[in-house]
Amino acid sequence: MPAKRALKEYERRRDFALTPEPPARAKRSRTGRSFVVQKHRATALHYDFRLEVDGTMPSWAVPKGPSLNTKDKRLAMKVEDHPLDYAGFEGIIPEGEYGGGTVMVWDEGTYEPLETDDPASALRRGELKFELHGKKLKGRFTLVRTGGPRKWLLIKGRDRYASEKDIATEKPRSVKTRRLLAQIARDEGGNVEKAATGDP
């Protein structure tokens, strides 16, 4: 799908006169293979997992967050593609707007697709294996579709980075500013009490 068309749903859901989120503009990073995980306290706490593919960032909401435990199969609900500029967004989406709440850049880095040089086609087929080179998440992972177009699983592969430790609890801070969710809300005029429910 052309990048510009892939961002139509992102654009339709937002009033950019009200939200500081970046506009729907297709672009590529230097590597073309960036990823970001954004911790997002909206109606409920979740982690938005985004991979750069062909000028946009296909995205999944992961309620429990990524896991380093190979036994965990984390539900990942497909949401609308986001623009690459969104990867740097940390701040407040106004209450009443789509996704209203506090957003943190929880992890970022690059990824390497495995067993394919065409991640877009792999995602259309329903399974993408890849290796993450992030500040918190490293090593092999798989995204696999399990039912309907939206329901996927995010699964850690067996490698030296696999662990039973709870990475989300042990490393709760932003990789961009070192802040907790409540600190981001306090600094930027958000709902501190609501945001604090997403901190350990």
Give the model's pLDDT for residue 147: 82
pLDDT of 4 strictly over 80 = no
Pairing of strands 45-51, 127-134: unpaired
Q: What percent of the chain has pLDDT over 70?
A: 99
Give the model's pLDDT for residue 67: 98
Domain borders along the chain are: 3-189
Burial of 171 (0-12, 13-18, 19+ CB in 10 A): middle
Nearest residue to 195 (alpha-carbon basis) of 79, 72, 104 = 104
Give per-residue pLDDT as tens, 104-163. Answer: 999 999 999 999 999 999 999 999 999 999 999 999 999 999 988 899 999 999 999 999
Sign of the CA dihedral with 59 first, then 65, 70, and 72 last? negative
Give the model's pLDDT for residue 2: 60
Provide the β-strand partners of residue 68. Answer: none
